[in-house]
Structure 1
Amino acid sequence: MTSIPPTRTTTRGGTPAATPGAPGVRALIWFVVRQHRTTAWIALALFLALAGSLVWLHGAMGDFIDTHQLLAACDDVECAGPSGKVADFRSSYGDYLHYTGLLLEFLPALLAAFVAGPMVARELESGTYKVAWSQSVSPMRWFAAKLALPAVVVLAGVSVLAALYTWCWRVVGDREGGDVLLPGQPWHQSFNALGPAPVVLALAGVAIGALVGLLLKRTLRAMIVALLATGAVAAVTGALRQYLVTPVTTMSADMPGLLGNRTWWFERGMVGPSGGHIVEPDCGVGVSPAQCLVDRGASGWYVDSHPYTHLWPMQWVQAGGVTVLAVLLAAGALWWMRRTHS
């Protein structure tokens, strides 16, 4: 069993000397690091490998696109690149970018499961927390160290990965035709892998994991619940995303399309006789859009959308809301710890 090193002071002669009392914050953090040092080394190796590969990917994608002038051959519907180079780009670089984005999107749930299970619930389930508590460490300081260390690591590490991924994604996503060149990578589908979104969701995952592990005290059960809870937070933010910024409503006499121009077209329908919106009306088989307007007594079509310029305002609005949620969850975990173990 690992013991916590005592807090040390310095004598007049400069010689360090142990002092009685509770270990300091640095000693507690070092204790937590030593407990999970194998996981920490693995995580560091994966972080360096992923960060390095993203730096390489940025240069490789940009060179390939510019050399073969891929975006010049893309319109609002398809890319007619030279001699299969579009397919080569998608298979060589697009898939890698796509799966890296998925990793960033799933990372908050994985972090929540790790904090809930191995970091908190396993110690409470096995009783090893008593080692720390028996060495003049208060339960609150022990739990604060358990919560603070992954929060700091996540804030630093995920911020770097999210910045590098966004840097790579913008090679394609910032350009006209990029959403067609990589059809699975438009900004609204990659939202939770871009900018601050994965960072704040990862912090929320840490807070969820700490609270769930503290409440359930069973490793496997806590990991499963933390995974599901973090997934639920991501699902709710996705469902609310279209309301984060006021959408642009476009009216037209003809039925509008929903493709191209890096715009997120999320709702289409008719303007009814009373001015209300009829979302995607069922016109029946073989009925033209013009006839459908007449049958419904509608005055025209509308489409609600978010242009590409809404990406970053929506990112920061979501980041603010999720940050508040993370703070509330962390405060709830600390309150519960104080209430049950003070």
Structure 2
Amino acid sequence: MTWLTWRQIRSQVWAAAVVLAVVAVALALTGARLSDLYTASGLGTCAADDCGRAQALFAAGVQAGDLRPFLYFAGIALMYLTPAAIGMFWGAPLIARELEAGTLRLAWTQTVTRSRWLLVRLGLPALAAVLTTALLSLAVTWWAGPLDRAGGRPGHDQGLDLPNRFAPLLFGARDAVPAGHAAFGFVLGVAVGLLMRRAVAAMAVTLAILAAVQVLVPAVVREHYREPLSTTTPLTVSGRPHLVRVDDRGMEVSMPVDLPGAWITSVRTVDSAGRPYAGPVPEACTSPAFPPAECDAAVDRLRLGQLVTYQPAGRYWTFQWVETVGYLLLALGLTMLCAARIRRLRLS
């Protein structure tokens, strides 16, 4: 049974090995230079007030190589596409094609029980899927490490202005989460194929579900893993970078938030009592007769504050393991669903 399963999945495994080798070579050839640029810029040891110059030096070195920005964004795309491809092309057809072809009748009339058949059929491909994705994530995370660390250091707005690794875009494409996502995607595809009994239709449904998960988890679910922290800072805008936006709903004032490595979940303007502020809008900010400096001074006189809600950088690995374990538990639940469905499945 194990040998038969290997023969059925070996083409996918060899294709994954080729992709992994190509990615590893491309990243290895450029990653060492990126790490050297980070060290030479002094970003790893700069003080909070001195990091702007180091960020600028690092940014100049990174932008001097045309291939590095492409590899950075390609790595992010690869880590989101891999679990989806595994769910579509490895998971969805696994049982659906057997049901379409009727080969289960032959397998289950031999000495192999349904439980053992399912264990082997799911176990080997799932192991290959998780291992492949984990190795890809390891390579991409290592290569992008200097860029991710730069995004989490003070003064990042003076350099490449990239998000840190805790930001929603990067979090799901780094470290352990992609491997958990791959396990979930694979078993999801198997479950959808088992329920639909049509490989092509199951592939489309699996892709749709995984795309929805990739959007909903960072947008709705992830921020609730732990209660966020909040801090309020005075909005003294004169002589400092800021944004004043006035529209029909009132006025919004914001300034850059300096919380290196944190995931900023919301930024709101509040009055001196901590209530959301939308107006009244000072005349100096609505009339073209006043220069911008008058508007800034009028905003300062309002004594507003900026309420920032965030997840601190120190929670990054906690969130990584919570999300990874969550995906693995979902995969386990779907496996149990498949086992229950297989036991009740009629082939006639």
Q: 2:255 corresponds to which residue? A: 257
Q: 1:24 corresponds to which residue? A: none
CA distance in 2, matches of 1:139, 1:68: 60
Q: How does 1:1-342 map to 2 (within 5 A)?
A: 28-67=1-40, 80-81=56-57, 85-89=61-65, 91-175=66-150, 176=153, 181-187=159-165, 188=167, 189-239=169-219, 240-254=221-235, 255-259=253-257, 261-271=260-270, 277=276, 281=278, 286=285, 300-341=305-346
What's the % identity of the aligned pairs? 25
Q: 2:254 touches 2:269 (CA, 8 Å); kept in 1? A: no
CA distance in 2, matches of 1:136, 1:83: 63
With over 3 angstroms needed to count, the CA separation of the structure-2 counterparts of 1:36 and 1:274, relative to structure 1, is same
Does the residue aligned with 1:114 lie in a helix, a strand or coil? helix
Q: 1:115 touches 1:206 (CA, 8 Å); kept in 2? A: yes
Q: 2:246 corresponds to which residue? A: none
Q: 1:33 touches 1:40 (CA, 8 Å); kept in 2? A: no
Q: 2:239 corresponds to which residue? A: none
Query: Which one is further off, 251-260 or 184-193?
Result: 251-260
User: How well do the aligned residues superpose, as a CA RMSD in angstroms?
Assistant: 3.4
Letter in 2 for 1:320: V
Q: 2:193 touches 2:199 (CA, 8 Å); kept in 1? A: yes
With over 3 angstroms needed to count, the CA separation of the structure-2 counterparts of 1:243 and 1:262, relative to structure 1, is same
Q: 2:13 touches 2:128 (CA, 8 Å); kept in 1? A: no
With over 3 angstroms needed to count, the CA separation of the structure-2 counterparts of 1:324 and 1:82, relative to structure 1, is closer
Once the two structures are superposed, residues 33-92 of structure 1 have per-residue CA deviations (whole angstroms, 9 ceiling, x without a partner) of: 112322222222212222343333331211244456688799569954499544224x32
Deviation of residue 227 (structure 1)? 0.9
Query: Structure 2-normalised TM-score?
Result: 0.76
CA distance in 1, matches of 2:330, 2:59: 50
Letter in 1 for 2:70: D
Does the residue aligned with 2:310 lie in a helix, a strand or coil? strand
Query: Structure 1-normalised TM-score?
Result: 0.77
Letter in 2 for 1:129: L
With over 3 angstroms needed to count, the CA separation of the structure-2 counterparts of 1:36 and 1:291, relative to structure 1, is same
Does the residue aligned with 1:137 lie in a helix, a strand or coil? coil
